[in-house]
Amino acid sequence: MSRPHENSHEGEAENVSGAEAQVIPLHGPGREKPDPAAQAERDLRESEEAQEHLDSERRADAPVVEFPGAARVSPARTRPADADLLPDSLRTALAFVRDRLTGDYTVDEFGFDAELTETLLLPPLRALYEKWFRVDTFGVENLPADGGALLVSNHSGTVPLDALMTAVAVHDHVPGGRHLRGLGADLVFQLPLIGSFARKSGQTLACNADAERLLRKGELVGVWPEGFKGIGKPFSSRYKLQRFGRGGFVSAALRTGAPIIPVSVIGAEEIYPKVGDIKLLARVLGLPYFPVTPFFPLLGPLGAIPLPTKWSIEFGEPIRTDTYDADAVDDPMLVFTLTDQVRESIQQSLYKRLSQRKSVFKG
């Protein structure tokens, strides 16, 4: 009697026992044994990347708190952050020193150094203008914002501080900070140190050639036709205009078509009241006069301090010259008439302002 189940089991056993055994390698291709050092390095790198990702998410979620007065600095900026903390005056001074050391500054054909004027010369003059003389200005709207013009002013004060104060008024009240290019006497440029600074501050010789060149360049040119007769006149003749010469300034204006702006200055006559003149000493020193005031030379250097009078500077309405023919400059009567017109305009303005002044020191 057959036993099918037993036969089948025996056949299977025979097949199994007869089958050829297969060897499965533990470290075959694709199943190499991992290197412990490489594995540790990969684990460390993955851990660091995970930590950086977590930190970035935390920074993105964190609120940004700005302290009062703090300014955001762009990463693209290369200038040190401390530069913004410096005062404007100190930054300007440092830039000036840098330009002087490197030679990176400009001087025009007349020797005018705008950077030196604005950095070194104008600040102390501005202190005198604002704090000591307390200057009031009128008619600033008559000063052109661009283009040439000839400013003609009275002259007084024994020392020509009125020219310097007028230059401050022009620079500080005309848009763009225009400079007044003054025409000075030969003596100014012969004095040591003073002559050099006069050139660097934009002054030049009082001659028609220089005046016309400056006007054609579109500059504001200042002229004081009274000259030494004006600043050296005695205190008893204060605010009485002296002769304006032969009208050379009118000829320069006619040739260039520049307007003439009359300027009247009140207050300069009293800063050094001239009561005398030591002519012998003036001749020895090569000066037009050697003034004697109530305080100088009696008090020595202290007598050279100007009195703190209250000033006013008025810029009158321009007198046009571009309406005349090209040959008008050769007409002596026309030149004389325009010269007298400018002089009379300044004189009337002085009288008007004096009639309104209540005090020499308070205005």
**Mean pLDDT computed over every residue of the chain:** 84
Other CB atoms within 10 Å distance of the CB of residue 348 = 13
pLDDT at 87: 78
User: Angle at which helices 332-356 and 248-256 pack, to 10 degrees?
Assistant: 110
Three-class secondary structure of residue 233 per DSSP: coil
Arch. (CATH architecture) of 114-271+306-356:
3-Layer(aba) Sandwich (3.40)
Give the long-range contacts of residues 32-35, CB within 8 A, separation 24 or more: none
Residue 43 in this model has a pLDDT that exceeds 70: no
Residue 151 in this model has a pLDDT that exceeds 80: yes
| Percent of the chain topping pLDDT 90 | 67
Encode pLDDT of 156-190 as tens digits.
999 999 999 999 999 999 999 999 999 999 999 99
pLDDT at 328: 92
pTM higher than 0.95: no
- What one-letter code names the amino acid at 357? R
How far apart are the C-alpha atoms of 281 and 303, rounded to whole Å?
Answer: 18
Confidence of residue 245 (pLDDT cuts 50, 70, 90): confident
pLDDT at 105: 84
**By C-alpha distance, which of 141, 224, 136, 228 is closest to 180?**
224
pLDDT at 10: 47
Confidence of residue 290 (pLDDT cuts 50, 70, 90): very high
Which DSSP helix (H) or strand (E) runs through 333?
helix 332-356
For the chain, the structural domain boundaries read 114-271+306-356
Residue range 255-280: average pLDDT? Answer: 96
Confidence of residue 82 (pLDDT cuts 50, 70, 90): low
196 near 189, Cβ under 8 Å? no
How far apart are the C-alpha atoms of 187 and 59, rounded to whole Å?
Answer: 73
306 near 161, Cβ under 8 Å? yes
**By C-alpha distance, which of 137, 349, 145, 334 is closest to 262?**
349
